[in-house]
Structure 1
Amino acid sequence: MKNELFSLSVLTITILCILVILLKYLIIRKTLDLRNREKIENYKETYNPHIYRMLTEGTYSRKLKPETGLQQKAFEELLSRYIKVIEGVEEKERLSELASMYLSDYYRKRLNSIKWSTRMNTLYHIEDFHMISLLDDVYLLTKKKQLSHEELVHSLRILALFKFESILNLLTTKYRHLTEYDYRHILLRLHEHQFDQFDQLVLYFHKAELSLQKAVLEVISIKRELTYLPFIENIISSYLGEIKLRALKAVAQIGYVKNIDPYLDLLYSTKWEERLVAAKLVGSLKEEKALARLIELLHDQAWWVRSQAGQSISQFANGKDVLRKVLETSKDAFAKDMAWEWLHKGV
């Protein structure tokens, strides 16, 4: 019994000691964090006037020499604040130049950190500050075997943003099995900054993986690029299924076609998705020849088609009158409900 009590006492004292040590560690850690934060804020006060003059006037200062980790952190936080508010092209170029001058070595080391969060945060800053000086370092990162999926996609996005000459080859050979979501985020940067390579990707479309094809069509849809209309219409006439539907959605987003007749036929498609997209297109074009069919589609079996038909009708100059007539004369409860809904939308 005495031995058991003694063992229990020893165990209790041991646990208490561990808790005391842990508490002391947390207090010390918190104290150090507060001190470091205070130092960072002081550095920010010192650096801010010099950074402001550099961004607005292009005036350099010899006092601007962030060398320690805390100084570089302060410098980084200031640039992060400025990148959110500056709009001028010249000011953004100066900010990129500043980041390249004072943070390149710092970020180079952080890209090799064993901590995933450190590497990811560094990639975000490299992208935000448009640090083209680190393009090769980002490319080397994609070659690492232990690279996470998030790091890979973000790195490829940066390479697209920085006009990396082999980005198209990477997307169509080495990284052919990314998701549509991944490709879309990369291609949006490619479209913004490398029209030639995006055009080459459009030419490669027929050989591309399904997810990459979907992403190409999605980007064209998001950007509403009228120049790609012939390409989109070729896809509609030569593909079936999901790809054809994506192309139709892109046309509907663009909101323009040279010849409406083929799309009028789709209003009678056996596939409700195609009827829906065609209804959206003729509504955006306010195509009078389609109005009678849109009224019929208010009676469609698919709720989404009925809803789109109601929305499209409401876009016509006399759309409210048409919907009111359906509400008063139709014997279809679903059509009447949809007509009522779009009559009162936004009221």
Structure 2
Amino acid sequence: MIDLSLDFLLSVIAILFIVLCGFMMYIFYQRQSEVRFKKSRDIYLKDYSQLWYEYLFNNEIFSVVLIPRGKPQVQAIEMIFSSYLKNITNDDMRWKMKNFSNQYLKTFYENDLMNKRWSIRMNALYRIADLQLDELLDACKKLETTKYSKEEFFQLLKIYSLFQPELFIQKIKVPNANYSESEYRRLFVLLEEDTFMRFFDEFTSWSMSIQFAVIDTAAAKKNMKYIEKLEQLLTNENDEIKIRALKGLFEIGVIENINPYIPFVTSHLWEVRLMVGKIFKYVPLSYSYPYLEQLLQDENWWVRSQAAKTIAEDRDGLEKLKEFISYSTDHYAVEMAQETIMRKQGTR
């Protein structure tokens, strides 16, 4: 019985030893493959980085030696392109990258889209968007027929926004397209103006996250085209929409007509009154002072502070604050005006 147990134990040990040896050989092979991959990639970077620079920026003739022979060279090209895309804005450079990618990288990324590994598919989707591989649009659509992750669908939306805006509008409406405000902003900032403007035209049909993202994106773009659209949102029943629209208008920084903002001086929301106090910075003090004086006597400290600051930023603002101090009976407003004058004079 003891002999049988010993034989069994020896057999188990032998099997484990064989498995361990196989595993070690696999690790060694993988390590050697990685070393060869890195070496091949680095050789390409060393030999051809300067050639890429000459082609992209000095109008040198394209050399066939730049065409990748395998994955290591593709990764090297990705590194070169990514470095330039992050640091340089040049339409001719982007066109050359796009043309090269569609001609010589298309097959690599098309195969990657069908890979079982999520990370490889995601990398392909990132590169398709970054390098403008519009010839892979159909392959991207095909990916939707498989089981895909939320992250993959987000990248597909990004690709559609670049290559087929109508499809982007259609796809963003589906139930599984449910993302955060920041994610929607990342998509909207890529859109052409005509496509982005459609989100304002159909504003009420979008989810709250999309509505907030549309307003914030308009603010970030600082385009005067959006002033009218944002002013129209000031009548929205949602208070957060009003506040964000006011913030957006403040960020754009152009106020052609003070009238749409006057009713908000007496808003029941202190955040709204605060934003109006900021916006009046872009209106001549001769027009805005009566309303700023009202805000200077607001019950909220932040509103009073902003009103005093806005007045003080005008060239005649300090005199206006001194004049206000001479006749006002509002102790808190007078105190705020005095503090603002002291701070302003202290910075001179």
Q: CA deviation at 1:222?
A: 1.7
SS of the aligned residue for 1:147 comes to coil
State yes or no: 1:34 paired with 2:32: no
Could you report, residue by residue, the CA deviation over 1:143-196 in whole angstroms, capped at 9, with x for unpaired residues?
Answer: 245322222222212211224432222223566644333322212111xxx333
Which segment drifts farther, 288-297 or 217-226?
Answer: 288-297
1:157 corresponds in structure 2 to: 158
Tell me the matched-pair count.
343
Q: In 1, Cα distance between the equivalents of 2:211 and 2:305? A: 29
SS of the aligned residue for 1:75 comes to helix
Could you report, residue by residue, the CA deviation over 1:7-44 in whole angstroms, capped at 9, with x for unpaired residues?
Answer: xxx99999999999878866665554334322211122
State yes or no: 1:61 paired with 2:69: no
Q: CA deviation at 1:134?
A: 1.9
The two structures have a TM-score, normalised by structure 2, of 0.79
**Equivalent residue in structure 2 for 1:272, among 270, 273, 276:** 270
Could you report, residue by residue, the CA deviation over 1:303-332 in whole angstroms, capped at 9, with x for unpaired residues?
Answer: 543443344234222345666888999556
Indicate if the aligned counterparts of 2:220 and 2:251 stay in contact, CA closer than 8 A: yes
Q: CA RMSD in A?
A: 4.2
Indicate if the aligned counterparts of 1:310 and 1:338 stay in contact, CA closer than 8 A: no
Which amino acid counterpart does residue 158 of structure 1 have in structure 2? I
Which amino acid counterpart does residue 166 of structure 1 have in structure 2? L
Q: Structure 2: which 5+ runs fail to align?
A: 1-10
1:170 corresponds in structure 2 to: 171
2:195 corresponds in structure 1 to: 197
SS of the aligned residue for 1:59 comes to coil
2:314 corresponds in structure 1 to: 316
Q: CA deviation at 1:212?
A: 2.2
Q: In 2, Cα distance between the equivalents of 1:233 and 1:281? A: 12
Which segment drifts farther, 165-174 or 260-269?
Answer: 165-174
Which segment drifts farther, 147-156 or 80-89?
Answer: 80-89
Indicate if the aligned counterparts of 2:231 and 2:260 stay in contact, CA closer than 8 A: no
2:241 corresponds in structure 1 to: 243
Q: In 2, Cα distance between the equivalents of 1:296 and 1:173? A: 47
The two structures have a TM-score, normalised by structure 1, of 0.79
Q: In 1, Cα distance between the equivalents of 2:197 and 2:76? A: 41
SS of the aligned residue for 2:111 comes to helix
2:91 corresponds in structure 1 to: 89
SS of the aligned residue for 1:158 comes to helix
Distance change (3 Å), C-alpha of 1:293 and 1:196: closer
Alignment of 1:1-347 (within 5 A): 29-55=30-56, 56-57=58-59, 59-141=61-143, 143-144=144-145, 146-173=147-174, 177-190=178-191, 194-295=192-293, 297-298=295-296, 300-320=298-318, 330=331, 335=336, 339=340, 343=344
Distance change (3 Å), C-alpha of 1:271 and 1:90: same
Indicate if the aligned counterparts of 1:226 and 1:254 stay in contact, CA closer than 8 A: yes
Q: CA deviation at 1:130?
A: 1.8
Q: In 1, Cα distance between the equivalents of 2:320 and 2:16? A: 79
SS of the aligned residue for 2:268 comes to coil
SS of the aligned residue for 2:61 comes to coil
Q: CA deviation at 1:105?
A: 0.9
Q: In 1, Cα distance between the equivalents of 2:168 and 2:49? A: 37
SS of the aligned residue for 1:267 comes to helix
Q: CA deviation at 1:94?
A: 0.7
Q: In 2, Cα distance between the equivalents of 1:176 and 1:147? A: 12
2:8 corresponds in structure 1 to: none
Which amino acid counterpart does residue 137 of structure 2 have in structure 1? L
Q: In 2, Cα distance between the equivalents of 1:127 and 1:140? A: 16
Which amino acid counterpart does residue 109 of structure 1 have in structure 2? N
Which segment drifts farther, 324-333 or 180-189?
Answer: 324-333
Q: Structure 1: which 5+ runs fail to align?
A: 1-9
Aligned-residue sequence identity (percent) comes to 27
